[in-house]
Amino acid sequence: MSPTHDKHSSQGLLQAQVDLWHHTLGFVKSVALRCATELRIPDIIQHHGGSMTPSELASKIGLHPSRLPHLRRLMRVLTVPGIFLVPEVASPDNEVSYGLTPTACLLASCDEVRSNISPFLSLLLDSTFTAPFFGMHSWFLDEHSTSMFKKAHGLNFWEMAEQDDTYNQLINDVMVSDSNFLMDIILREYAGVFLCINSLIDFAGGHGGSARAIAKAFPQMKCTVLDHPHVVEGAPTSDHVSFISGDMFKYIPPADALFLKWVFHDWGDEDCVKILKNCKEAIPPREAGGKVIIVDMVVGSGPNMRV
C-alpha cells in the first residue's frame, strides 16, 4: 500500500478531490455572477415583485427558448452560494422561482439599499483587470517586474486609467457607486468622527461621491477632493465640494482632517509610510483636532479569517 493510502482514507481522498474541483472551478461563480448582472436579472426580479421563475425571467430578458435550460443552471449556480434564494412557496405550476438575497439586492435598485454596487463587479471582472492574474506565474519569475498589472499591460493600474477614457470612466463609476453605498453607513454609524471639523480633504476622491455625502451631512464643513488631473477634469461641478489636482506623494494641502477611503491597500508599506508622513505635515497636531480618517480593509492571516 502506498504512503498516500496509509495517511488518508478513501473518503478523505475523494473529499480532497472535491475541494480541489471547487477551487479550480471557483471562477465559474464569478463569471456567472457577471452574466446575471449583465442580463440585469437582479433588477428584473426586483421590479417583478421580488420573485420570478426561470420561464418568466427568460421571457422578460428576451432569451431564445433554447436558452431556458441553461438559464435554470445559471440560477442554480448562483443560488448555492447565496446570491439568489428559492422561496418556500412554489409557483402555481410548481416551477421553481427565485428571489433576492441581501447580496443580490446590492446589484439591484432595491429599496433596502441606497445604491447598487454592480459597477464594482463590472470592474473586478473586466478582462483588463483579470488578465494580469493569468500571468501570475511569469510575474513571480520576473524579478524586475513591479506589478502583475504592468507586466500584462505595460502600464500600471492608474496609468491605464489616465490613458484609457473608457477604463477611467468605469473606475469613476465604481467609486461613485461605492461611495453612495458605503458613506450612507459610515455617516449613520460613525458620524461622531466628523464632528468639529472645519475643513476636510478626500484623497483620491474621484468624482466626489464621498465628499458630497460628508458635505451634505455637515454643511459647515469645507470639503475638497484631491485627485489626478484627468480625474478632476471630468468631475461634475458642485456648490458644496471643490476639486484640486495634485499628487499625494509630493504635497498635500492643509486641512483639519484628511479622508482616505480605499487608498492604502493600493500601495506597499514604504509608499504608505510616505503618504502618512505627508498627512502629518498637512494637518494640525492631535490636540488641535487634526485627524486622518482611514476607511480600508484589514486582512486576516489564518485559513478561517475573513477581511
Are residues 223 and 256 in contact, defined by beta-carbon separation less than 8 angstroms?
A: no
User: What pLDDT tens digit does each residue of the chain (307 aa) get?
Assistant: 455 555 678 999 999 999 999 999 999 999 999 999 999 999 999 999 999 999 999 999 999 999 999 999 999 999 999 999 997 766 667 789 999 999 999 998 755 555 688 999 999 999 999 999 999 999 999 999 889 999 999 999 989 998 999 998 899 889 888 888 899 999 999 999 999 999 999 998 989 999 999 999 999 999 999 998 988 988 888 889 999 999 999 999 999 999 999 999 988 899 999 999 999 999 999 999 999 999 998 877 666 655 4
Question: What residues contact residue 11 under an 8 Å CB cut-off, 6+ apart?
Answer: none
Q: Which fold does the domain 190-295 belong to in CATH?
A: Rossmann fold (3.40.50)
Q: Where are the domains of the chain?
A: 3-113, 190-295
Q: What is the pTM of this model?
A: 0.79
CATH number of 3-113: 1.10.10.10
Give 286's DSSP letter. Answer: G
Residue 265 among the catalytic residues = yes
C-alpha cell at 173: 463609476
| Complete edge-to-edge strand list for the sheet that includes strand 98-100 | 51-52, 98-100, 84-85
